[in-house]
C-alpha cells in the first residue's frame, strides 16, 4: 500500500503532548525529543523538518499463511509476535523498498532542489497519523492503522520530501461502535478508545521496557 499525505497540523497530533504528560509513554524518553525551540518534534512535523511539504507513506503486510502461535498444540511453547516471523529485520526489509521509491523520485525530478528522508520506526514522526491522511488506513480504537482489505498487520515506512505532491484522500474511520479490541486487551492497556497506556501494553513490556515485567501484569500476559 502507498499514499501521499500533506504536511499539516492534524488534530491527532495535538493529543501527543497530553499523552506524554500523562506518563503513557513509560520509559520511552526518545518520544519526548524536542527541537531547539523546545517543541515536541512528534507533535508537529514542521518542528522537526521545516522543509518537508509531503509525506509518502508505504505499508507492507506481514501476515503469513502459518497458523497463529495461539493455535499451536503445544501449550508450553511461547507465543511469538507475528511481525517477528521473518529471517530479515523488518526495518531493513521496508527500508530497501523505501530507498527504491526514493531513487525513482529523485530520478524523475530535475528542476527542484530535492530533499528527502526515509524512516522505518526511527524518525520523529507519528507515522500512523500520516498513514491516515495518505489514505492507507484509519486509526483504530487500538491505535493501530487498519486497512479495510489488508487488516492491521502492517509495517509503516515514510519518505519525507520537499516536493509538494497532490495528496490522497484521508481514510474514513470505520470502527463505528465496535469495541472488540478494547474488550480483548488482556492487560487493559487501552484506557479509552484511541488512547493506549504503554505501561500496560504487552508490546512495550516485552520490547521497550528494561527490567522485569510487573508482577500484577504477568498472569494477564500468560
Contacts of residue 152, defined as CB under 8 A and 6 or more positions apart, other chains included, come to: 137, 140, 142, 144, 145, 146
121 catalytic residue (yes or no): yes
Q: Cell numbers 505499508 label which residue? A: 59
Contacts of residue 155, defined as CB under 8 A and 6 or more positions apart, other chains included, come to: 59, 60, 61, 62, 83, 90, 93, 94, 120
Strands, E assignment, 37-189? 54-61, 116-119, 138-139, 145-146, 154-161
At 31, is the secondary structure helix, strand, or coil? helix
User: Residue 130 and residue 136: Cα distance in Å, rounded?
Assistant: 9
Residues in the chain: 222
At 220, is the secondary structure helix, strand, or coil? helix
Measure CA 135 to chain center. Answer: 14
Q: Of 89, 92, 113, 121, which residue is the catalytic one?
A: 121
Q: Return the active site residues.
A: 121
Amino acid at each position: 500500500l502507498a499514499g501521499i499525505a500533506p504536511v499539516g497540523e492534524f488534530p491527532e497530533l495535538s493529543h501527543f503532548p497530553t499523552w506524554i504528560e500523562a506518563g503513557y509513554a513509560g520509559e520511552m524518553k526518545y518520544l519526548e525529543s524536542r527541537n531547539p525551540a523546545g517543541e515536541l518534534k512528534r507533535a508537529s512535523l514542521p518542528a522537526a523538518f521545516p522543509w518537508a511539504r509531503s509525506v509518502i507513506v508505504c505499508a507492507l503486510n506481514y501476515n503469513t499463511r502459518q497458523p497463529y502461535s495461539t493455535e499451536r498444540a503445544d501449550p508450553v511453547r511461547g507465543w511469538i509476535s507475528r511481525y517477528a516471523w521473518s529471517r530479515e529485520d523488518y526495518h531493513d526489509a521496508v527500508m530497501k523498498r523505501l530507498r527504491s521509491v526514493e531513487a525513482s523520485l529523485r530520478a524523475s525530478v530535475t528542476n527542484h532542489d530535492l530533499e528527502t528522508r526515509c524512516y522505518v520506526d526511527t524518525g520523529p514522526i507519528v507515522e500512523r497519523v500520516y498513514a491516515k491522511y495518505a489514505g492507507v488506513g484509519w486509526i483504530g480504537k487500538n491505535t493501530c492503522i487498519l486497512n479495510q482489505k489488508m487488516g492491521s498487520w502492517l509495517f509503516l515506512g515514510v519518505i519525507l520530501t520537499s516536493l509538494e505532491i497532490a495528496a490522497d484522500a484521508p481514510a474514513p474511520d470505520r470502527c463505528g461502535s465496535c469495541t472488540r479490541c478494547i474488550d480483548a486487551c488482556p492487560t487493559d492497556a487501552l484506557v479509552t478508545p484511541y488512547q493506549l497506556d504503554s505501561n500496560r501494553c504487552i508490546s512495550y513490556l516485552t520490547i521497550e521496557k528494561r527490567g522485569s515485567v510487573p508482577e500484577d501484569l504477568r498472569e494477564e500476559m500468560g
